[in-house]
């Protein structure tokens, strides 16, 4: 499901069963990441599918990329793998107004 940033953030804040998933490349992640996000690069192809399939399918996933298209693809893949609740951040990290963390 596509959510605008304000809805994505407000829903995330009230969700105690949530995981934030960043599907960008490592180079993009090095420019900053939404705090507490886990990173699995969608460009890994089959590797992405394998890693995502290991995640807890009972959680709610808040997924983002740079602009919103790769994360929409990731949500579709995750839904096919049996994830019930995936939320795509419309506009992605490029329009993110919230806090940003940096990997060490």
Mean pLDDT within 12-39: 97
Residue 58 has pLDDT above 80, yes or no: yes
| Model confidence, pTM | 0.96
User: Which CA distances in Å does 63 have to 8, 31, 76, 90?
Assistant: 10, 17, 11, 10
Residue 61: band (very low, low, confident or very high) from pLDDT cuts 50, 70, 90: very high
Provide the β-strand partners of residue 89. 3
For the chain, the average pLDDT equals: 97
**Listed residue (12, 20, 14, 43) closest to 93, CA to CA:** 20
Q: Which residues are catalytic?
A: 65
Whether 89 contacts 63, CB under 8 Å: yes
Residue-level pLDDT at 30? 96
The confidence score (pLDDT) of residue 41 equals: 98
Average pLDDT over every residue of 72-98: 97
> What integer pLDDT is reported at residue 22 of this predicted model?
98
Residue 103 pLDDT: 74
Contact 21, 85 (CB under 8 A): no
- Would you kindly state where each structural domain of the chain is located, as residue ranges? 2-95
**Nearest one of 16, 25, 36, 21 to 74, comparing CA atoms:** 21
pLDDT band for 71, please (50, 70, 90 cuts): very high
What's the topology of domain 2-95? Oxidized Rhodanese; domain 1 (3.40.250)
């Amino acid at each position: 499901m596509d959510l605008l940033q304000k809805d994505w953030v407000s829903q995330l804040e009230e969700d105690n069963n949530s995981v934030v998933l960043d599907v960008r490349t490592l180079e993009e992640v090095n420019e900053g990441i939404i705090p507490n996000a886990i990173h699995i690069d969608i460009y890994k192809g089959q590797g992405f599918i394998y890693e995502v399939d290991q995640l807890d399918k009972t959680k709610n996933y808040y997924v983002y990329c740079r602009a919103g298209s790769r994360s929409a693809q990731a949500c579709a893949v995750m839904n096919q793998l049996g994830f019930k609740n995936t939320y795509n951040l419309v506009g992605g990290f490029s329009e993110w107004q919230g806090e940003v963390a940096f990997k060490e």
